[in-house]
């Protein structure tokens, strides 16, 4: 017969999905790869080096901080590697390596692990690291973009201070052609090829790692607002909108950062509110703020609001009627 | 008659969530085999939701099949009958699969399988007679939950307009309901006729998941042959999605009606009966032989020859597995019931109960998933047919706040396991749900 001691008594269900955190994170890494390749083509091996340093230091910091806190090692779930890759994508390829390491420390140690590790952080680690770097080292972060393809020309170190967004805002300089906006523009190393980002985003949606709600609502809101603004203020509203959509980190933000599980709502209604909020804030910052880029700050602000959005959008359980509050309250006032 | 396949209806409501579990319906084409009489059976006195029975036989008594050996006056309970003939050798306490302790009567077989002489077809011409007969038959919901069937039939006359015969069988592996539809289709239909006529239910829907085309064809063709009830009994095809067979889900799929939280199916005009229970009622009314045996699917990666068997209630599951060729590899987990909602047992020494519909044994490879931190991916919430956020309720349960748990809807949870199935982090969400419910119960107790 059977040795009863070997039998496991566990709670149902006794079958589980094959998906694991690691597989999900691996999918995100796969989805980011086309953009990395695009970046290497545009900016040379320097982008690869920045990405490698960022991933390596994120994984190392994850390992060390878990060790220091005497908690189970989690580098195997690949979430630190994803943070590293996304952080790198938010940096210019010209950034000094030590700054990358500093950013990784902020992302992993301060934002992620000090709040309890995966799923617990209330803002996106890579995003906050980027903002800290931006505030601390504005020159390195905001004013020295490598010119696309310069590394293959006679002036390999050519830098420009003008991203398309800066040109859109100030009106100084010439915008790259629309086609170049899709494939090659100046900017952070991961945001420069909108087509590659879109490819990765579609992959994540097909794999059901992310739901389409956030990217669609986010990009949709930005599109609508820019169109309205364009009709009021610009000669060619459609062209203006196209540039706005393809500029800066919008694609990267909408597909890969606003969709971060820990810092976005889980209910569909919550996702809509969150994404529309991100979209509106992005437009406000881009059009009326004194910064060129609004994606990081708007996602960050909305991240902070997520717990409130979640609370307001708890779905009604099956068979539970809508509460009719107001009237009852009035009637039940008791004389004291 | 090639194109004479009668009309099969499609679902009315589409439930949200649910999960696509691998079906593993390996035994779908295996006829139910009646196992030879075992040497002994251990018949628990608690085989239903509700009150346990008290044994009314003593050690040394001779009993025969169908003789009442345990009964109670409680309404929400059903009598227990001897399932083999022989001598009572013990009346004592045993631990059931769910960890609950119960009185049980052990009968050693005399090898004769003698029927009790007093058995005769019950009188069941009126509602009251039918309910009394069904209670006396010992019937509980054969689909797994074990709710006494006569209690369900006792709805207020005229309030139920739809009888839903549940043949969804959405749990993986299990195929006995499918076999029941195929092998005993006439019993199913005559059971329906009885319930329909006596309880005066105008409409009957036999609800089957799409992945059982044979059962669908057979039942719909028989239903269309019965002139008297033409148009009133129909077969409905449902999406193969777990938990299609859960009562509230089933009612929504079949009628588009939502059972309000805390209410019963009859509150929305529905009566849901498992297909095997319906067929049993027909046989019982004809023969008067109470519920003393049932069909089971024996399957899983550790079972030598997976098959469908018919066994006496109280047969030891180890003996049943022996009859299916024993284990081909060392089992790591043995489940009574389906893999989504069944109970893992820690011994093969426990008896089969009325509501068990499967015995599944798995080897190590199908083992547990490692538990890691919740990543807040929301998959548990998307999977929940009851629209609950399992991860949120799990967090709330840690705080022990009963009011917040009620507001979050923890009581609506039917423990179907869809949430935990989908969780990439392997969180024990169903356990958390049970914890949440017990917190609510405790709070209610201390307040009231
Ligand atoms: S499915 Fe699991 S990991 Fe995802 S939110 Fe629910 S509990 Fe957390
Ligand atoms: S919360 Fe309850 S009803 Fe919802 S999926 Fe989980 S077990 Fe099923």
Mean local confidence (pLDDT), A261-281: 95
Q: State the DSSP code for A113.
A: G
Chain A residues near residue B360 by CB distance under 8 angstroms: 14
Of B248, B330, B377, the CB nearest to A261: B377
Size of chain A, expressed as the number of residues it contains: 336
Q: How many CB atoms lie within 10 A of CB A140?
A: 16
Q: Do A7 and B331 touch (CB under 8 A)?
A: yes
Report the residue among B250, B386, B387 best suited for mutation to probe ligand 2: largest number of ligand atoms under 8 A from its CB. B386
Pocket of ligand 2 (CB under 6 A): B 383-384, 386, 388, 390, 413-419, 429-430, 433
Chain B residues near residue A24 by CB distance under 8 angstroms: 375, 377, 424
In CATH terms, the fold of domain B2-27+121-287 is Rossmann fold (3.40.50)
CA angle in degrees (0–180, nearest 5) for A123-A89-A148: 150
Mean local confidence (pLDDT), B171-184: 94
Enumerate the domain spans of chain B. Answer: 2-27+121-287, 379-446
Question: Residues A3-35: pLDDT tens digits?
Answer: 566 677 788 899 899 899 999 999 999 999 999
Question: What is each CA distance from A165 to A142, A187, A218, A229, A253, in whole angstroms?
Answer: 12, 9, 18, 15, 15
Closest CA to A85 of A123, A117, A126, A38: A126
Distance from CA of A195 to the nearest CA of B (A): 26
Could you tell me the pLDDT band of residue A330, with boundaries at 50, 70 and 90?
very low
Tokens (6 digits) for A310:
């979640």
Suggest the residue from B173, B348, B378 to mutate for an interface test with chain A (most A CBs closer than 10 A): B378
Atom of ligand 1 nearest to the CA of B378: 5
Report phi then psi at A176, rounded to 5. -65, 160
In this structure, the residue with its CA closest to atom 8 of ligand 1 is B374
Look over chain A and give the mean of its residue pLDDT values, rounded to a whole number: 86
Question: Residues B276-285: pLDDT tens digits?
Answer: 999 999 999 9
pLDDT score of B72:
92
How far apart, in whole angstroms, are the C-alpha atoms of residue B148 and residue B277? 11
Q: Is a pLDDT exceeding 80 seen at residue A263?
A: yes
Q: Cα(B287) to centroid of ligand 2, in Å?
A: 41
Mean local confidence (pLDDT), B193-206: 94
Q: Is a pLDDT exceeding 90 seen at residue B232?
A: no
Q: Do A262 and B376 touch (CB under 8 A)?
A: yes
CATH code matching the domain that covers A21-150+158-312, chosen among 3.30.70, 1.10.1760, 1.10.3430, 3.40.50 = 1.10.3430
Q: Do A24 and B375 touch (CB under 8 A)?
A: yes
Q: Do B412 and A320 touch (CB under 8 A)?
A: yes
pLDDT score of B300:
92
In whole angstroms, what separates CA B274 from the centre of its chain?
7
Of A1, A15, A119, the CB nearest to B373: A119
Does A74 contact B at CB distance below 8 Å?
Answer: yes
Q: DSSP secondary structure string, B273-309?
A: EEHHHHHHHHHHHHH---S-EEEEEEESTTBSS-EEE
Q: Is a pLDDT exceeding 60 seen at residue A336?
A: no
Q: Cα(A256) to centroid of ligand 1, in Å?
A: 19
Could you tell me the pLDDT band of residue A325, with boundaries at 50, 70 and 90?
low
Distance from CA of A221 to the nearest CA of B (A): 23
Mean local confidence (pLDDT), A252-258: 95
Could you tell me the pLDDT band of residue A158, with boundaries at 50, 70 and 90?
low
pLDDT score of A10:
81
More confident residue, B446 or B92: B92
Look over chain B and give the mean of its residue pLDDT values, rounded to a whole number: 91
Does A293 contact B at CB distance below 8 Å?
Answer: no
Answer whether B377 contacts ligand 1 (Cβ < 6 A).
yes
């Amino acid at each position: 017969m059977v040795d009863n001691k070997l039998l496991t008594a566990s709670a149902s269900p006794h079958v589980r999905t094959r998906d694991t955190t690691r597989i999900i994170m691996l999918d995100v890494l796969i989805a980011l790869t086309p953009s990395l390749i695009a970046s290497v083509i545009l900016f040379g091996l320097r982008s690869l080096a920045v990405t490698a340093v960022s991933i390596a230091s994120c994984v190392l910091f994850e390992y060390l901080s878990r060790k220091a806190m005497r908690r189970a090692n989690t580098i195997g779930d690949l979430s630190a590697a994803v943070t590293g890759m996304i952080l790198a994508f938010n940096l210019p390829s010209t950034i000094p390596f030590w700054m990358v390491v500093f950013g990784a420390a902020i992302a992993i140690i301060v934002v992620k692990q000090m709040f309890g590790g995966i799923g617990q952080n209330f803002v996106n680690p890579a995003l906050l690291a980027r903002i800290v770097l931006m505030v601390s080292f504005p020159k390195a972060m905001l004013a020295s973009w490598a010119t696309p393809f310069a590394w293959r020309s006679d002036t390999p170190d050519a830098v420009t201070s003008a991203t398309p967004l800066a040109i859109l805002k100030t009106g100084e300089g010439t915008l790259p052609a629309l086609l170049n906006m899709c494939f090659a523009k100046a900017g952070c190393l991961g945001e420069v090829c909108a087509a590659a980002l879109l490819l990765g985003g579609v992959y994540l949606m097909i794999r059901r790692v992310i739901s389409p709600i956030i990217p669609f609502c986010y990009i949709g809101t930005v599109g609508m607002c820019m169109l309205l603004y364009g009709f009021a203020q610009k000669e060619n509203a459609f062209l203006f909108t196209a540039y706005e959509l393809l500029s800066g980190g919008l694609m990267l933000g909408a597909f890969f950062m606003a969709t971060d599980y820990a810092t976005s709502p889980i209910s569909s209604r919550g996702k809509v509110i969150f994404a529309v909020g991100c979209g509106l804030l992005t437009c406000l910052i881009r059009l009326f703020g004194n910064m060129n880029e609004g994606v990081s700050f708007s996602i960050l602000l909305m991240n902070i609001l997520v717990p409130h959005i979640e609370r307001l959008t708890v779905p009604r359980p099956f068979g539970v009627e809508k509460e009719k509050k107001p009237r009852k309250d009035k009637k039940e006032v008791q004389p004291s | 008659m090639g194109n004479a396949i009668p009309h099969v209806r499609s679902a009315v409501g589409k439930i949200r969530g649910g999960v696509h579990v691998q079906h593993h319906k390996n035994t779908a084409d295996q006829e139910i085999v009646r196992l030879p009489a075992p040497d002994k059976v251990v018949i628990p006195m608690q085989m239903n939701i509700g009150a346990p029975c008290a044994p009314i036989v003593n050690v040394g008594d001779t009993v025969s099949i169908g003789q009442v050996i345990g009964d109670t006056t409680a309404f929400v309970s059903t009598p227990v009958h001897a399932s083999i003939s022989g001598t009572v050798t013990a009346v004592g306490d045993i631990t059931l699969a769910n960890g609950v302790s119960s009185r049980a009567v052990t009968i050693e077989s005399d090898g004769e399988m003698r029927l009790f002489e007093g058995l005769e077809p019950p009188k069941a011409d009126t509602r009251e007679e039918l309910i009394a007969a069904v209670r006396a038959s010992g019937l509980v919901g054969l689909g797994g939950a074990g709710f006494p069937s006569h209690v369900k039939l006792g709805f207020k006359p005229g309030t139920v307009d739809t009888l839903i015969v549940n043949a969804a069988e959405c749990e993986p592996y299990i195929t006995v309901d499918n076999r029941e539809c195929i092998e005993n289709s006439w019993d199913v239909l005559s059971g329906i006729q009885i319930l329909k006529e006596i309880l005066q239910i105008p409409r009957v829907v036999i609800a089957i998941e799409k992945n059982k085309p044979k059962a669908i064809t057979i039942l719909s063709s028989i239903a269309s042959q019965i002139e008297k009830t033409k148009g009133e009994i129909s077969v409905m095809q449902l999406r193969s999605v777990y938990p299609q067979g859960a009562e509230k889900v089933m009612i929504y799929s079949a009628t588009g009606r939502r059972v309000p939280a805390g209410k019963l199916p009859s509150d929305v005009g529905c009566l849901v009966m498992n297909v095997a229970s319906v067929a049993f009622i027909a046989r019982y009314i004809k023969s008067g032989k109470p519920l003393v045996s049932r069909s089971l699917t024996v399957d899983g990666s550790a079972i030598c020859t997976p098959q469908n068997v018919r066994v006496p209630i109280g047969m030891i599951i180890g003996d049943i597995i022996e009859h299916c060729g024993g284990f081909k590899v060392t089992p790591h987990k043995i489940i009574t019931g389906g893999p989504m909602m069944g109970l893992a047992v820690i011994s093969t020494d426990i008896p089969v109960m009325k509501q068990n519909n499967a015995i599944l044994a798995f080897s190590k490879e199908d083992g547990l998933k490692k538990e890691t931190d919740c990543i807040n991916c929301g998959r548990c919430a998307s999977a929940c047919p009851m629209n609950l956020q399992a991860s949120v309720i799990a967090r709330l349960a840690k705080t022990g706040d009963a009011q917040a748990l009620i507001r979050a809807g923890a009581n609506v949870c039917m423990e179907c396991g869809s949430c935990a199935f989908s969780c990439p982090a392997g969180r024990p969400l169903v356990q958390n749900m049970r914890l949440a419910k017990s917190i609510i119960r405790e709070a209610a107790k201390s307040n009231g």
